[in-house]
Amino acid sequence: MKIVKQCILLCTVLIIACGIISPKGASGITIQQEEELANEFIKLILSHYEVITDPLITNYINDVGQKIVSTLPPQPFSYHFYVIKEDTYNAFATPAGHIFIHSGLLEAMDNEEELACVLAHEISHVVCRHISKKIERAEKVNYATLAGVVAGVLLGTAGASAAANAVTIGSMAAGQSYALAYGREDERQADQIGLNVLRKAGYNGKGLISTLKKMRSKRWFDSNQIPTYLTTHPASEERMAYIDTWLEKHNKTEPNINDYYFKRAHTRLVAIYGDEDVALRKFKSDVHNHPDDPLAYYGYGLILDRKGDHKAAEKYLKAALGKRAFDPYILKDLGRLYFLDGNYQQAFSILDGAASINSNDPDILFYLGRTQVELGHLADAVATFEKLISKQQNYPRALFTLGETYWKLGKKGDAHYYLGIHYKNKRDFKNAIFHLKKALEYINEPYKKVKVEKLLKEIRKKKSKSEKDDDNKAQKN
């Protein structure tokens, strides 16, 4: 099934790549085309892979990434950082500044220095437009090689080869080394830029060599087991020697990095998204061997909650909080457990405290709002949900829960309005139209009516297009 998934992704990306970047008469890929291509890549990745949206993890990864980006001269686009839930060693950059790291590689890291080095290297490939330049040259190579370029970026050598063979797009032996991996000069340039921006950002660059050595030191029994990162970013002896020489020349002092934030994100990644049994053994051992470490208790509490033992989870999360009293993420998880167990007053006290420390976390706001509903504080709950939506409109369940809360307040127009948007986002056009038409019956304010009518027009247009697409598919079948 994984090969089939890769084949579908490869074929679709190939069509998109040819359509967007190879029009007749085109002389190269512009920044706008690069952004359009990146948007299509993102859609495909999101439709075929699970991207972790956990605020603690994603906020941390983006904080480290943006810290590095801040050292660069003005860039033509914004940078975004993502974690894909895949137990493999890989990281890659799409055109226009979208950087992806697999959870398996992040889990294998020991500190923020290693994470920063991998992100800086990928950022440097984007700055140098290495991928975009490969695509610019696509007109000069055959379609099989172009497919290899795209697959090499997204899937790595093994996945690209398997997918290419499966869809019989032809042999790419002649251009395979060019297509599937960054060239020696690409890697040297990315290393040079990456190491320099790392130093400006307060890191020393040692994480790059330690991560590459870590991957190379593992025993791999055949080519299909070689980490994807090493096939797309070859760690040649010459390259390793260059990095070692640079480190020896430039590293005079150790950077001052607080690794608590890395360890907290790493703890959550292992406990929530890693192998359950491995995580359970790890954190049980950590609590025994490191009784003063709040993250040992935090990780153990998270994995116990994941295993369904809420009471034991509460015990260890309270212990973690006792050692790190004002950590909003520990507060959030303890408050969430109190909410799920029906201890609404305790949940409110904890979650309200968490929101006062970190008012931008959507999970905190969501569970705080739900707790306020259960306590009968409906107006406060509306304010909390609206604050959440203003920060992250696509947060799961937020629009639906806000609609329900307005209904309980007797504000039917607002209730139908938010339920309509909820169903619109789910592409359930029938229910979206129903609720928005109902909203028009109850809403009196002219500006709100105009807003709803505009939404209805937009949804009917999308519904009509969707029905035509379905008819066309049915006729082809």
What's the average model confidence in pLDDT over 130-136? Answer: 68
Alpha carbon distance 106, 240 (integer Å): 21
Q: State the pLDDT at residue 167.
A: 29
Torsion angle, alpha carbons of 292, 254, 100, 145, to 10: -140
Average pLDDT taken over every residue of the chain: 82
pLDDT band at 464 (very low <50, low <70, confident <90, very high): confident
Q: pLDDT tens, 44-54?
A: 777 778 999 99
Closest CA to 238 of 158, 183, 197: 183
- Kindly give, in sequence order, each residue whose CB lies less than 8 Å from that of residue 382, ignoring residues fewer than 6 positions away: 402, 405, 406, 409
Strand arrangement, sheet containing 91-94: 51-52, 80-84, 98-102, 91-94
**In this predicted model, what pLDDT tens digit does every residue of 293-334 receive, in sequence order?**
999 999 999 999 999 999 999 999 999 999 999 999 999 999
Cα–chain center distance at 154: 15
Question: In this predicted model, what pLDDT tens digit does every residue of 109-119 receive, in sequence order?
Answer: 999 999 999 99
Give me the percent of the chain exceeding a pLDDT of 70: 76
Residue 282 near residue 304 (C-beta atoms within 8 A): no
Where does the pLDDT of residue 473 fall: very low under 50, low under 70, confident under 90, or very high at 90 and above? low
Distance of alpha carbon 463 from alpha carbon 325, whole angstroms: 50
275 pLDDT tier (thresholds 50, 70, 90): very high
Cβ atoms within 10 Å of 184's Cβ, excluding its own? 12
List, in sequence order, the alpha helices (H) in 49-98. 55-69
Burial annotation 395-415 (CB, 10 A radius, 16+ → b, else e)? beebbbbbbbbbeeeebebbb
Tell me the angle at which helices 143-154 and 2-21 cross, rounded to the nearest 10 degrees: 120
Average pLDDT over residues 412-430: 95
pLDDT at 108: 93
- In terms of Cα–Cα distance, which of 59, 48, 99, 107 is closest to 78? 99
Quick one: 460 exposed, middle or buried, by C-beta within 10 A (0-12, 13-18, 19+)? middle
Question: Helix, strand, or coil here: 292?
Answer: coil
Q: Are strands 98-102 and 80-84 parallel, antiparallel or unpaired?
A: parallel
The one-character DSSP state at 73 is: P
Bridge partners for 100 per DSSP: 82, 92
Q: Is 258 helix (H, G, I), strand (E, B) or coil?
A: coil
CA atoms in the 13 A half-sphere facing the CB of 169: 23
Residue 352 corresponds to which amino acid? D
* Residue 34 DSSP class: H
- Residue 239: pLDDT over 80: no
Positive or negative: CA dihedral 305, 310, 312, 318? positive
In the chain the first and final C-alpha atoms are separated, in Å, by 23
With both helix axes pointing from N to C terminus, report the angle between 156-166 and 2-21 in degrees, rounded to the nearest 10.
90
Q: What is the pLDDT of residue 24?
A: 39
CA neighbor of 435 nearest in space, from 466, 461, 407: 407
Cα 289 to Cα 477: distance, rounded to the nearest angstrom: 62
Flag the least confident range among 2-16, 254-268, 432-446: 2-16
Strands 51-52 and 80-84: antiparallel
CA distance 436 to 449: 10
pLDDT for the residue numbered 58: 95
User: Where in the chain are the domains?
Assistant: 2-250, 411-477
Q: Copy the structure tokens of residue 95.
A: 């055109």
Tokens of 363: 């999970």
As a whole-number percent, the residues of the chain with pLDDT over 90 amount to 56
pLDDT in tens, 368-380: 999 999 999 999 9
